[in-house]
Amino acid sequence: MRFKLTLTSSGSQNLLPMNYQYYISAWIYRVLKSADEAFATFLHEKGYGIGDSKLYKLFCFSRLEFGRPRLLKEKQLFELNCKQIHLQISFDIPEAATNFIKGLFASNSFYLGDRNNGIDFMVTGIEASSPPDFKTTLNYSLSTPWVVSIKEEGSKHARFIYPDNPDFATFATKHIREKYVSTRLQDPGLIKLKPYAPFKRSGYLIKPGTAEETRIVGSLFDFELTAPIDVHQMVWSAGICEKSSNGFGWIEVYE
């Protein structure tokens, strides 16, 4: 279930860190946590009924839609020239949760940014988006990078792989399958991925400015996905890759 939010700045600030995705993710978590008991109960009664803590991560969000901001590259900042911007967020939850989610985010006030630069926003509009006509085979375009990482034996850190790696499709579809099984408790059947060239590496920092600062790198490309319709609905709502709750794996259908 996707929603389009209208965010209106409520102060004079207009500088936003380039790695704003981490702060959006943290804000969404705070909103969900504020309704922790009610949300968990809702998921149990109306959702999948199992693994509530995992379902908290089954969300994704788009890049901010803020026109053409001035780029302050040396300071790693965007200088916005508008008071109103848009953001799309999405949750892998039943349609019955539409009003519940709207209620959580409507009129929510929050600060987006770090301790040095950021903007005070208020959610001044929220509307549900209509899903596409799902079919077993669809073409998608990535708006935010698809992240695939593998942890090799003896290695301390995971390694990112990209669509030109022959193992990319195997590991990418493995994650989709695991996400489906963990929430639906059944095997999804055939999942087949066909990436289209060219692809572009892209990424941003998670927990910027802290000791845990990490750069996550994925790929932007178009692709064909063949899978049961339930799987298409899931990746549309929850994001298609690992770390979707950090702002990766937002997809759009194209013909």
Express each pLDDT in 117-161 by its tens digit: 999 999 999 999 999 999 999 999 999 999 999 987 777 778 999
Q: Which residues contact 20 (CB under 8 A, 6 or more apart)?
A: 64, 78, 112, 113
Token pair listed for 196:
């289209």
Is the CATH number of domain 137-253 1.10.150.120? no
Average pLDDT over residues 172-177: 95
The alpha carbon of residue 150 and the mean position of all alpha carbons in its chain are separated, in whole angstroms, by 20
With beta carbons less than 8 A apart as the criterion, state whether 62 and 20 touch. Answer: no
CA pair distance 8, 139, nearest whole angstrom = 34
Whether the full predicted model's pTM is greater than 0.85, yes or no, is yes
In Å, how far are 56, 92, 101, 163 from 97, measured between CA atoms?
A: 14, 10, 6, 35
Confidence check: pLDDT of 171 > 80? yes
Question: What pLDDT is stored for residue 80 in this prediction?
Answer: 96
Among 72-86, 144-158, 202-216, the range with the most confident prediction by mean pLDDT is 72-86
CA pair distance 136, 229, nearest whole angstrom = 5
With beta carbons less than 8 A apart as the criterion, state whether 210 and 180 touch. Answer: no
Quick one: CA dihedral 211, 26, 119, 16, positive or negative? positive
Residue limits of CATH 3.30.70.1890 in the chain? 2-129
Average pLDDT over residues 46-60: 57
Which pLDDT band, with edges at 50, 70 and 90, does 52 fall under? very low
Average pLDDT over residues 5-21: 95
> What CATH number has the domain spanning 2-129?
3.30.70.1890
Residue limits of CATH 3.30.70.1900 in the chain? 137-253
